[in-house]
Amino acid sequence: MMLDLKFIRENPEIVKENIKKKFQDHKLELVDEVIKLDLERRTTQQEADDLRANRKKISKQIGGLMAQGKKEEAEELKNQVTSNAERLTELEKKENELSEKINKILMVIPNIIDSSVPIGKDDNENVELQKYGDPVVPNFEIPYHVDIMESLSGIDLDSARRVSGNGFYYLTGDIARLHSAVLTYARDFMIDKGFTYCIPPFMIRSNVVTGVMSFEEMEAMMYKIEGEDLFLIGTSEHSMIGRYIDTIIEEETLPHTLTSYSPCFRKEKGAHGIEERGVYRIHQFEKQEMVVICKPEDSMMWFEKLWQYTVEIFRNLDIPVRTLECCSGDLADLKVKSIDVEAWSPRQQKYFEVGSCSNLGDAQARRLKIRVVGEGGKYFAHTLNNTVIASPRMLIAFLENNLNEDGSINIPKVLQAYMGNKTKLIPSK
């Protein structure tokens, strides 16, 4: 579930209006349906509760009648208990069936988006917020990113294709080192911001998967381990949020600010497909992520901080970026608000996505039962996540923006200590 059933019951028009804003009108009828099912379930539950209370009352009466030697009257009451027990079994079965139907609907009614989210059908209507750094187009031709990597003897797609198929790669030499250097720098950058570094499990169970994402996302992204209740993670956010499943957090310990490293595995189903030649859209990559668990009133403040960290780290690597506000139709169902960070590609002379920052409100916490206890009682935590660096997509932006006319690659100052104090990478071909 993403929304409290009580909220839906009391605010059906708000829920319907939100569905319309997300251009998911086919879900409008689900609001009335779930309210109707909920009423039926509560009626069923009330009858079942009455029967349970009546059973206790009759049981006491039977004991009293038996003590008085009134066996016939006692037998009549016993028959009534038996009849009630049969009815109770029917009601409990019905209650479980209704609960299952309700939960299934609650899993697909989208979360309420923030009032600041622009209304639009798809990513074509996302709104540019701000540019950071000058998007320079040099007076020499920028080769395709694979050609740049190959000039540095840094990539082997042919061998990867023979070993694993399309969507995989071998990184070698200075490019492999650069890949690791950027991830390590990103890790240290986040530690310096006060985040706790984590390496999480790279496989998670199905109950965690359905707790952190929508069914549509799961089908398009996740690899299932055959014969086991395990999925390969598509991002470390999944296992990082999953870490809190069925927990109660002491309010005074919030916020929990975490930065995690992991490989990521994605089917990448859909219109885009996997590239034959290139590492922009692939089945396996590595990522440094940031995750925040906080009080509801602090989540928007953390949202603003998180995407700004991504902008800062890319500017430190001499890569111009811009921020885009995701419109209502581009938001995944669990999200309240989302901002994409896009890097400048001088070769294509346009920006492309390198990170995404999301505030999910209490949707994940509600599904995974992540509660906070404080002076005011218990409530659901808010969860946020954001990409620090995803490589090798980041490598594309890095190589294009730091390329010189002679084919060498400048190493920004912040990265030089991670690259053996090199200031440049020199092509071997």
Token pair, residue 288, equals 């440094």
> For position 292, what pLDDT does the model report?
98
pLDDT above 60 for 323: yes
> For position 273, what pLDDT does the model report?
59
pLDDT above 80 for 15: yes
Work out the average pLDDT over 15-30. 97
Work out the average pLDDT over 381-391. 96
> For position 72, what pLDDT does the model report?
61
Tell whether pTM > 0.85.
yes
pLDDT above 70 for 73: no
CA dist 422 → 181, 317, 388, 401 (Å) = 12, 14, 24, 17
The pLDDT tens digits of the residues spanning 212-264 come to 987 777 888 899 999 999 999 999 999 999 999 999 999 999 999 999 999 99
Cα 85 to its chain centre, rounded Å, is 45
Work out the average pLDDT over 414-427. 97
Work out the average pLDDT over 48-54. 79
The helix/strand/coil state of 28 is helix
> For position 218, what pLDDT does the model report?
80
The pLDDT tens digits of the residues spanning 103-117 come to 999 999 999 999 999
Which CATH fold topology does 5-106 show?
Helix Hairpins (1.10.287)
Mean pLDDT, rounded, of the chain: 92
The C-alpha atoms of residue 185 and residue 187 are separated, in whole angstroms, by 5
Work out the average pLDDT over 28-42. 96
192: burial class by Cβ within 10 Å (0-12, 13-18, 19+)?
Answer: exposed
pLDDT over 70 percentage in the chain: 91
CA dist 93 → 50, 248, 377 (Å) = 16, 31, 33
Least trusted range by pLDDT, from 1-10, 32-41, 43-52, 348-357: 43-52
pLDDT above 70 for 67: no
The C-alpha atoms of residue 272 and residue 213 are separated, in whole angstroms, by 20
> For position 48, what pLDDT does the model report?
86
Work out the average pLDDT over 185-197. 98
- Of 42 and 275, the structure prediction assigns the larger pLDDT to 42
> For position 321, what pLDDT does the model report?
98
The pLDDT tens digits of the residues spanning 341-375 come to 999 999 999 999 999 999 999 999 999 999 999 99
Are 336 and 361 spatial neighbours (Cβ–Cβ below 8 Å)? Answer: yes
Are 266 and 236 spatial neighbours (Cβ–Cβ below 8 Å)? Answer: no
Residue 62 makes CB contacts below 8 A (sequence gap 6+) with 74, 77, 78, 81
> For position 61, what pLDDT does the model report?
61
> For position 318, what pLDDT does the model report?
95
Top-level class of domain 123-425: alpha beta
pLDDT above 90 for 1: no
Q: Where along the chain do its domains lie?
A: 5-106, 123-425
Running DSSP on this structure, what letter comes out for residue 193? T
Least trusted range by pLDDT, from 27-41, 87-101, 187-201, 346-360: 87-101
Measured in degrees and rounded to the nearest 5, phi and psi for residue 370 equal -100, 105
Q: Which helix (H) or strand (E) holds 78?
A: helix 71-106
The pLDDT tens digits of the residues spanning 287-302 come to 999 999 999 999 999 9
Tokens 């989210």 correspond to what residue? 117
